[in-house]
Amino acid sequence: MPRESIETVQMRTKYGSMIQDLLRECRNPKNSQLGHTRWEDSLTLLNRIFPADRDIPIARIGPISTRADDADVWYTTEDDIERMMAQNFILRKPTVVRSRQLGRRGQGLDHFLEALNDHFGDSKVDVQDPSTKKKAAVSSPVCDVIGRIREGADIPAGRLPINLLNLKYLGQVPPAPAFLNLRRFDVLPAISSRLEAEFTGRAIAGKRGHAMMVEAREIDLDRSLTFSLFAQRGAFTGFHVDSPDATWVCLEWGLKLWIFATDTNESEMVKFTDEGDNWVPDSVVAIVLEPGDTLIMPSAQLLPHAVLTLADSRMTGGMFMDALRILESIEKLLWISIRPSVSNESIPLQLL
């Protein structure tokens, strides 16, 4: 068994008790009075992933600079990963860009709720509500959701945490990793531009001077390029893979427990296909994302993961493809397309 890194030990010391406290709170017998709901399903999964009598399995963390093969997750800096990517380095493990300085003012819950109201105050938003019996997200008026978030989740009192997974990015400049500006990572934006020109009959390299109307064809790839996420403390999302390909997510505030399946052999993936987000792998490892951390999940790889929110959190993220692995990415896309149960989002129609 490889020796644990200092970073792994520090993470377990810093967050192990916090995670266990949240799990005990979720297991409170009072919550069983809610009947059969999404919350009950989530508790069943959490109890299987993290049995009460075991320590939290923190991932083996290693520096990307050493290309440590025995690490579950690489950690790096913005400068180091940008330099490596410029030399055609291929990322093959989940990687965290550590504690970026976001350079933003007004961060926090109030700022987020004000932005949500400014953008969508008279609209509806998709909400994962664990107090319902439906797996599908519930469409709720934004004003009601804002009120519920302001009230705050209180698991012992029966106010269960909600999850907003289908938000547009609310801002001007998303905090994407700088290396994504390299030409090899321009695959999805280029596809989007080409297909938009094909479907509209207007191949114009510039801003549109008029509204775009597309008949009988949905233009939906852009929605994958950037997105925003919000979840309250205790919100849980079961195991899934991201579609269409690689993902980056930056934690703007809060705390997230990211849980990875460590054994993705053929028999486990068959179970995953059959069970979807009810699947629990034989073994897992986890990391805690802190404010400013950016998690990058590599292109062309199937990385089943689940997420538990440790503190009210907002994330910004996006999707990308790597031209150096484009054939493998297409294989991944095809694999997901015939196994839709493994992803919590549909493949953009423009890629089908």
DSSP, residue by residue, 239-256: EE--SSSEEEEEEEEEEE
pLDDT of res. 210: 44
Residue 314 CB contacts under 8 Å (≥ 6 apart), including other chains = 109, 112, 228, 229, 230, 251, 252, 253, 254
- C-alpha distances in Å from residue 268, one per residue of 175, 261, 264, 343: 35, 10, 6, 16
Measured CA to CA, the distance from residue 176 to residue 209 in angstroms comes to: 28
Angle 109-120/142-151 helices, nearest 10 degrees? 170
Tens-digit pLDDT string for the chain (352 aa)? 567 889 999 999 999 999 999 999 998 866 555 567 899 999 999 999 999 989 999 999 999 988 888 899 999 999 999 999 999 999 999 999 986 665 554 478 999 999 999 998 889 999 999 999 888 888 999 999 999 999 999 999 989 999 998 788 888 778 899 999 999 999 988 887 777 666 555 555 555 544 444 443 444 566 668 999 999 999 999 999 998 899 999 999 999 999 999 989 999 999 999 999 999 999 999 999 999 999 999 999 999 999 999 999 999 999 999 999 999 999 999 999 999 899 877 665 555 5
As a whole number of angstroms, the longest Cα–Cα distance in the chain is 62
Measured CA to CA, the distance from residue 293 to residue 242 in angstroms comes to: 19
Q: SS3 letters for 116-180? A: HHHHHCCCEEEEECCCCCCCCCEEEEHHHHHHHHHHCCEHHHCECCCEEEEECCCCCCCCCCHHH
Q: Which helix (H) or strand (E) holds 50?
A: none
Q: Under a CB-based contact definition with an 8 Å cutoff, are residues 174 and 318 in contact?
A: yes
pLDDT of res. 204: 55
Measured CA to CA, the distance from residue 329 to residue 332 in angstroms comes to: 5
Write phi, then psi, for 247 (nearest 5 degrees): -135, 145
Write phi, then psi, for 61 (nearest 5 degrees): -105, 135
Q: Which helix (H) or strand (E) holds 94?
A: none
Residue 62 CB contacts under 8 Å (≥ 6 apart), including other chains = 5, 68, 70, 71, 73, 74, 75
pLDDT of res. 219: 44
Angle 38-49/6-26 helices, nearest 10 degrees? 140
Helix, strand or coil, per DSSP, at residue 188: helix
Measured CA to CA, the distance from residue 308 to residue 209 in angstroms comes to: 44
Measured CA to CA, the distance from residue 155 to residue 29 in angstroms comes to: 11
pLDDT of res. 193: 79
